[in-house]
Every structure is written in structure tokens, then in C-alpha cells.
Structure 1
Amino acid sequence: MKNLMLIVLVLFITIDTVHPCRCTSELSPVCSTRGKTFRNSCYLFCAGGHTLACRRKCPC
């Protein structure tokens, strides 16, 4: 039973750390409200904790 719990825990941690986003390499710069430029809006939203400020390189 302990082995099963350990396996479930390891799987949970592994699945939780896999990044679910698959962004294209399209270059369409966007700027976040934190002042960081991302390659495109997909990268911005996948980074988490960022909000779109404008659709060009920072600063806006």
C-alpha cells in the first residue's frame, strides 16, 4: 500500500510539472503589464501571472 501511495505521489508531481502550453514560434511581440516582452500572446498567457498590456515590444 505504501508503494502504491508513493507511485501516485510521483505521478502527480510529474504530471503537475509538465507544461501544458504548446506555442508556435510566430514572432508577434506582446508586452505584459509587468513590462516583459514575449514572443507572442501564447507565450505571455502560458507564463502565467502576466496580463497583456499592448501588442508590441515593451514599453507600451
Structure 2
Amino acid sequence: MTTDLVWRKSSFSGSEGGNCVEVADGAPGAVPVRDSKDPYGPSLTFTADAWCSFLTALHSGELPVRP
């Protein structure tokens, strides 16, 4: 992606860092996701529909969540 993205950390990441996921705003129709421990590393890009389906499944309890 050549556009400047604004990355934001998961609200579940807490203040200690750790295993955090960041998502980027500013990519029309796409949702880039990366590991916050490696901000210059690779990212995965999902369609907005796929990301929405993932979040819906996560919030509904369809997917297991690790503590």
C-alpha cells in the first residue's frame, strides 16, 4: 500500500504492550492488520467484509478467545 495509514492498537492490548494487534484506518475497502511488536514488518490485508465477519464471529463467541 502506498497511502499513509493511521494505525491503532486493539482496545484489549492494555498498557503493558505484549501481544497486540493494530489495524489501520485510511485504506478504502480494506483493513490492514499487523503485530504491534513489529511495526515495520509485514501486515495482512483483509477486505472490509471479511474483517466485519471476523469481528462478528469474535463478538458472538463463535471463535475462542485466549485470556
TM-score of the superposition, structure 2-length normalised?
0.23
Answer 1 or 2: which has greater helix percent.
Answer: 1
Answer 1 or 2: which has greater strand percent.
Answer: 2
Return the structure number with greater relative CO, CA threshold 8 A, min gap 6. Answer: 1
* Structure of greater Rg: 1
